[in-house]
Chain A
Amino acid sequence: MSLTVAIPKGRLGNQTIDMFKSAGIGETIDEDSRKLIFEDKKNDIVFMLLKNSDVITYVENGVADIGISGKDMVMEKNADIYELYKMNIGRCKMSVAGIKGKRIFKDDTILNVATKFPEIAKKYFSVKGQKIKIIKLNGSIELAPILGLSDVIVDLVETGNTLKANGLEIFDDMYDINAMIISNKISYKFKREKIKETIEIIRAEDEKNDKNN
């Protein structure tokens, strides 16, 4: 029974692949190739390279046993999966930001929030008791307040440079975001040992990288 691992394409995926390779796993993976499925026969693991937002979908539906996904996606999709391990990579924050100096909203109106993460935004503001209208965007979220599309944005912030360059600032930090190892619930029952072994490998790599930095 081989283990199927879903890896997101892009930086997070490349970092994960490096970790696996450093532990001698998935040496057949070639990120530059157009192939999307790689088999590591020696370790009995199949790797699938997917769009980052699709990793959860594949894992939840049992096509992949485990996967690497940002906590942001995990929170947004609220999927029925296990969140087994929080990795040390992919660190950033989910934040509320807006035009510098315009952070006070005292009128009892609806706050316009532009975001790629409607569910996270809804949950966060409902706890605060703030009525909002979601404006779902797919990219260049920073433009929304500048062009008057929204009052604030909810987005991932890593360094804050993009915000600064666009005259925005962080109003509130909402959540810490990390990469997570997620698992299909039923796969976990059948392949628990193998899944735990794999997580242990990643954890050891995490620790090793920590020491080097």
Chain B
Amino acid sequence: MDFLKIEDEVKFSHKMFILKREIEQFLCEEGYRNIEPSIYENYDEFTGINFRVDKKSSVKLLENSGNIFILSPDITTGIVNKLMPRWELGLTLKIFYYGKTYINNGIGIKENRQMGVELIGEKNNNTDESVLSIAIKTMKKYSNQYLFEIGNSKFLKGIMQACSFNNYDYKNILNLLYSKNKQELKEYLSKISYKEPMSTLINIFDLEGSLDEILQNLKGLYINDLMQQGIDELCTLDKSLNGNTHKIIYDLSMVSELSYYDGIIFRGYIDGSNKVIIKGGRYDSFTEQYGYKIPAIGFSIELDELIKTIYEEEMTI
């Protein structure tokens, strides 16, 4: 058996370099500018603004003065934290970055190469579409076996707020949504005092597929303003993406691991790869913690996974 040789390692590294450069070039052409993210963050500050960060898996550093830092597990949080405190109203920023995220996976420290795009300070009818289409174009460059999944966190938020679950129920229900466990969700809800929005919650797993299918299945179900807003945003997006042969499915039960998404959320997959290659969404309410709500949307590309997929396709030729 042959293991990795120096020659192969350099070859792979160079391939990664080329891939990175290609995407950077493309993003420059699309009018985005590069910023370099910091690899470490202040621990308290970081967990303070992004409370869903897994404290166990983050890699901590102890500085001489006694302050604790972490190697960044999420680059967007770091960027927002750097820019927002001195944000100038009226500014529009189109930026991209290359960076590494770090998590402790139980065996050791795992490095993850990421590239990301953020559009901060602009929100009109085309903003969501323009960012999403950059994600789609990037994916298309490297595979035609791709698929994008789009949801809107406002829809679920609308239901959950209207049901006003306590923390314990909220967490359990989220987990059932996360595993698309329809029967157990039904059982669980039957034990809680009935509220009208639950009628939609029980049927939420039927709200996936094409937007037409979803709208069809939505008929007769409970809906409130926030939920409607989520659907309207998806309809606008769908219309502007239409005419392209993009492979897109919608899923209104989409739950995001990151708490800061607020609006459109999307993920990109490549057939044959078992990981999410692109993930992103709108995170306006995340910026709100700094005093004013600045519209913001972005996504990140998992380079390690992307390059593996491209490599595999080459090997099979």
* Interface range for A: 10 to 19
B-contact 0/1 string along A1-40, CB 8 Å cutoff: 1000000000000000000000000000000000000000
The answer to whether A186 and B273 have CB atoms under 8 Å apart is: yes
- Nearest CB on B from A177, distance (A): 12
- Nearest CB on A from B242, distance (A): 20
The answer to whether B179 and A81 have CB atoms under 8 Å apart is: yes
Bound-state CA distance A85–B147 (Å) is 24
Task: Tell me which residues across on chain B come within 8 A of A62, comparing CB atoms.
Answer: 274
* Interface range for B: 10 to 19
- Nearest CB on B from A72, distance (A): 14
Task: Tell me which residues across on chain A come within 8 A of B313, comparing CB atoms.
Answer: none
Residue among A82, A85, A188, A189 with the highest chain B CB neighbour number at 10 A:
A189
The answer to whether A189 and B179 have CB atoms under 8 Å apart is: no
Task: Tell me which residues across on chain B come within 8 A of A188, comparing CB atoms.
Answer: 180
Majority secondary structure, A binding face = mixed
- Nearest CB on B from A168, distance (A): 29
Task: Tell me which residues across on chain B come within 8 A of A190, comparing CB atoms.
Answer: 147, 269, 271
Bound-state CA distance A83–B178 (Å) is 9
Task: Tell me which residues across on chain B come within 8 A of A83, comparing CB atoms.
Answer: 179-181, 184
Asked if B125 lies at the interface with its beta carbon under 8 angstroms from chain A, I say no
The answer to whether A189 and B149 have CB atoms under 8 Å apart is: yes
Bound-state CA distance A195–B59 (Å) is 39
Query: For chain A residues 159-206, which have a beta carbon within 8 Å of chain B?
Result: 183-184, 186, 188-190, 192
- Nearest CB on A from B16, distance (A): 23
Bound-state CA distance A83–B181 (Å) is 5
The answer to whether B249 and A82 have CB atoms under 8 Å apart is: no
Bound-state CA distance A189–B274 (Å) is 11
Bound-state CA distance A184–B51 (Å) is 28
Task: Tell me which residues across on chain A come within 8 A of B274, comparing CB atoms.
Answer: 61-62, 184, 186
What are 11 A-B interface contacts by the 8 Å CB criterion?
Answer: A62-B274, A82-B181, A83-B180, A83-B181, A83-B184, A84-B181, A86-B183, A186-B273, A188-B180, A190-B147, A190-B269
User: 4 closest pairs, A vs B, by CB?
Assistant: A62-B274, A83-B181, A82-B180, A83-B179
